[in-house]
A and B are shown apart, each in its own frame.
Chain A
């Protein structure tokens, strides 16, 4: 028997009301995060990663969950009132964002903000909280932690601010940490430091992590399982190593191929994906990826692919699996440099499949 997952997102739909009527930013997303597990949500800009993360915490600004459920520890979060939800956010689930400047208060010292976070959820004296704050700063690798208590956010580097955010997130030993692009704004050397820190702390605190990123390299390095988003949906999901080595969905394959690698042949073009991510208002009919998919055929333009269950705890949303799974999915080959470029506009929508 599988133990019950810590977080279950079940057929989540999120709708925003805009001046031109409602738009659906997340359209039926399901995934789970087990206790002490790291799950990465990966996808390009606008694919609904942040909206999903915010929906889990009920922090949607101007949006609402229009269908589906979010369960934490088996308990539906939907009926919780704002007060009860604040308690969940302090005790069970913590979140860190890409830009700590937006979530740290510029007017208060770092020490004050950590102490506040500690005292909000635990009955401790100011003095004890301060000591704990020093300890936390030390744990997140802040140089000279005691002196740093008096620093204001603007006096810290980007990497140091992210360390403070992590200290605040860990203040109450959450069981789930949601990190939305925690290293995107940082240099590679600092990114490596922060990812190592998150990894170490996760072990120590036995925290599960939902890591939102657009960087496949970060996914490969940190996640047990990966959930690939496209156009507000999950297109593929499974254990990281298997998904990255042997992608089953054409989008995952194409995305992996488009990233320049150390062995990318210089005399060839990169195998780019033609076109661009569609806007929420012009989601294509049928498969949402079909106008850009090298393997699309006629059915893809009008049939909505369901999620197919594949062996090895994997799922993929592609009509290629219809006949019973696992057809070879290949990324388009890279043309030589002198060849014509793929058109920037909408490419052919009807190409023969397999």
Chain B
């Protein structure tokens, strides 16, 4: 294995996923009173497994509170897991200390929804971008500044912008700066948590194009989180659908969106507004009820209180992920679990 201080050669582990997450769990304690007694747990992430290949984009979708951002923070180890394993390039990182993590950090970066509020308003763009380089001890001074200029160029801005301040940029430009900063350390995995969600449609398309271009040029892997399913579908190779802290379906993006196998994915796909260019007039399928609180999840299948196809087994037994098609598709639903009973041929 390569020394942790240097970048790991992607060719060193052929075929192995860049990131492999297994049975990941995060429970936040709910405390009460002065003594902060624990009275319960928010089961934000409740046994999640997926992989991200080199150069691949994995989209994470699900309703608000389903645990997407918590998964993002766990895989970057910005948050310690309650249980489970996170392997980056074959190496377990779930148990590492912050000090042991430092050299790995350069390989994994995140872009947030609101870049401007994550920058210090008194810092120039140059310092915003070079900060991670200096923190990682990769470069400093003139060398770091040159790298910052190069990165601005890469994201469609210019070296002339180095001495400007964050407020001098539009939302789309600020998001480009956020991406430039995240790319400064030459990461291999970029987590985009609602990175395009606050942008205007016209500018959102620019930033999506930029992300795709950078992926082609740099071989980046993305974990891409957004609530707009059409955006996720466009950019992702594979999609994981979360519900109440679990991945209830995953597989190739097109297959999951056009032929969903889990009843929840079906309602989610049905809730997308039709393509406006068709002129409208169609109404979407409406699913009743709301997602329950992760501090008090339902028994059995987490979706059963809203599921139009629920049957007796659903309220008692948690469905396990079952094979649901090509490309490693899985869906966690009892309907896919058909056990044939013995019969007698009658004709």
Residue of B nearest to A267 (CB): B212
Are A190 and B280 in contact, with the CB atoms below 8 A? no
Are B287 and A192 in contact, with the CB atoms below 8 A? yes
Give min CB distance, B100 to chain A, whole Å: 38
Which of A99-107, A172-180, A212-220 lies at the interface with chain B?
Answer: A212-220
Given A187-B63, A260-B231: A344 touches B172 (CB 8 Å cut-off): yes
Instruction: Give Cα distance in the complex from A344 to B280, angstroms.
Output: 32
Within 8 A of B (CB), among A234-272: 240-242, 244-245, 254-256, 258-264, 266, 269-272
Residue of B nearest to A247 (CB): B277
Are B280 and A192 in contact, with the CB atoms below 8 A? no
Are A262 and B170 in contact, with the CB atoms below 8 A? no
The CB with the most chain B CB atoms within 10 A, among A215, A220, A244, is that of A220
Q: Mark B118-158, 1 if CB is under 8 A from A, else 0.
A: 00000000000000000000000000000000000001111
Give min CB distance, A218 to chain B, whole Å: 6
Residue of A nearest to B160 (CB): A345
The CB with the most chain B CB atoms within 10 A, among A159, A256, A260, A341, is that of A260
Are B156 and A220 in contact, with the CB atoms below 8 A? no
Q: Mark A199-239, 1 if CB is under 8 A from B, else 0.
A: 10000000000000011111111010000000000000000
Instruction: Give Cα distance in the complex from A273 to B172, angstroms.
Output: 12
Instruction: Give Cα distance in the complex from A196 to B22, angstroms.
Output: 40
Residues of B within 8 A of A311 (CB): none
Contact of B206 among A196, A242, A245, A342 (CB under 8 A): A342
Contact of B173 among A187, A245, A271, A344 (CB under 8 A): A344
Are B234 and A266 in contact, with the CB atoms below 8 A? yes
Contact of B234 among A188, A190, A191, A270 (CB under 8 A): A270
Residues of B within 8 A of A258 (CB): 201-202, 204-205
Given A221-B284, A337-B216: A188 touches B279 (CB 8 Å cut-off): no
The number of chain A residues with a CB under 8 A from chain B is 57
Within 8 A of A (CB), among B46-75: 63-64
Residue of A nearest to B257 (CB): A262
Are B200 and A196 in contact, with the CB atoms below 8 A? no
Query: Is A189 part of the contact surface with B, judged by Cβ < 8 Å?
Result: yes
Are B280 and A240 in contact, with the CB atoms below 8 A? yes
Are B273 and A220 in contact, with the CB atoms below 8 A? yes
Are A220 and B280 in contact, with the CB atoms below 8 A? yes
Are B271 and A191 in contact, with the CB atoms below 8 A? yes
Residue of A nearest to B272 (CB): A188
Residues of A within 8 A of B285 (CB): 192
Are B172 and A188 in contact, with the CB atoms below 8 A? no
Query: Is B342 part of the contact surface with A, judged by Cβ < 8 Å?
Result: no
Q: Mark B229-273, 1 if CB is under 8 A from A, else 0.
A: 111011100000000000000000000011000000001100111
Query: Is A79 part of the contact surface with B, judged by Cβ < 8 Å?
Result: no
Are B268 and A264 in contact, with the CB atoms below 8 A? no
Instruction: Give Cα distance in the complex from A341 to B154, angstroms.
Output: 10
Query: Is B326 part of the contact surface with A, judged by Cβ < 8 Å?
Result: no
Instruction: Give Cα distance in the complex from A241 to B209, angstroms.
Output: 29
Given A258-B201, A270-B208: A215 touches B277 (CB 8 Å cut-off): no
Instruction: Give Cα distance in the complex from A47 to B176, angstroms.
Output: 22
Residues of B within 8 A of A81 (CB): none
Query: Is B213 part of the contact surface with A, judged by Cβ < 8 Å?
Result: yes
Instruction: Give Cα distance in the complex from A330 to B268, angstroms.
Output: 32
Query: Is B27 part of the contact surface with A, judged by Cβ < 8 Å?
Result: no
Residues of A within 8 A of B155 (CB): 344
The CB with the most chain A CB atoms within 10 A, among B64, B157, B206, B274, is that of B206
Are B273 and A341 in contact, with the CB atoms below 8 A? no
Give min CB distance, A58 to chain B, whole Å: 28
Residues of B within 8 A of A343 (CB): 156
Contact of B205 among A143, A189, A273 (CB under 8 A): A273
Give min CB distance, B288 to chain A, whole Å: 8
Are B273 and A272 in contact, with the CB atoms below 8 A? no
Are A262 and B233 in contact, with the CB atoms below 8 A? yes
Residues of B within 8 A of A338 (CB): 213, 216
Give min CB distance, B69 to chain A, whole Å: 14
Query: Is A125 part of the contact surface with B, judged by Cβ < 8 Å?
Result: no
Query: Is A44 part of the contact surface with B, judged by Cβ < 8 Å?
Result: yes
Within 8 A of A (CB), among B164-199: 170-173, 176
Contact of A220 among B63, B200, B227, B276 (CB under 8 A): B276
Query: Is B275 part of the contact surface with A, judged by Cβ < 8 Å?
Result: yes
Residues of A within 8 A of B216 (CB): 337-338
Instruction: Give Cα distance in the complex from A219 to B275, angstroms.
Output: 11
Instruction: Give Cα distance in the complex from A248 to B303, angstroms.
Output: 45
Query: Is A327 part of the contact surface with B, judged by Cβ < 8 Å?
Result: no
Are B202 and A273 in contact, with the CB atoms below 8 A? yes
Query: Is B34 part of the contact surface with A, judged by Cβ < 8 Å?
Result: no
Query: Is B210 part of the contact surface with A, judged by Cβ < 8 Å?
Result: yes
Give min CB distance, B256 to chain A, whole Å: 12
Are B172 and A256 in contact, with the CB atoms below 8 A? no
Instruction: Give Cα distance in the complex from A215 to B272, angstroms.
Output: 12
Residue of A nearest to B203 (CB): A276
Give min CB distance, B198 to chain A, whole Å: 9
Give min CB distance, A235 to chain B, whole Å: 13
Within 8 A of B (CB), among A155-172: 157-160
CB pairs A–B below 8 angstroms (29 shown): A158-B64, A160-B290, A187-B63, A188-B272, A190-B63, A192-B271, A192-B286, A192-B287, A199-B283, A217-B273, A219-B276, A220-B279, A221-B284, A240-B280, A244-B277, A244-B280, A245-B279, A256-B277, A258-B205, A260-B208, A260-B234, A262-B275, A266-B234, A269-B209, A270-B208, A270-B234, A273-B203, A341-B210, A345-B158
Further 14 A-B residue pairs, CB within 8 A, beyond A192-B286, A199-B283, A244-B276: A45-B171, A217-B275, A220-B278, A220-B280, A244-B277, A245-B277, A245-B279, A259-B205, A260-B233, A262-B257, A269-B209, A337-B216, A341-B210, A344-B157
Enumerate chain B interface residues (CB-CB to A < 8 A): 63-64, 155-158, 170-173, 176, 200-206, 208-210, 212-213, 216, 227-231, 233-235, 257-258, 267-268, 271-290
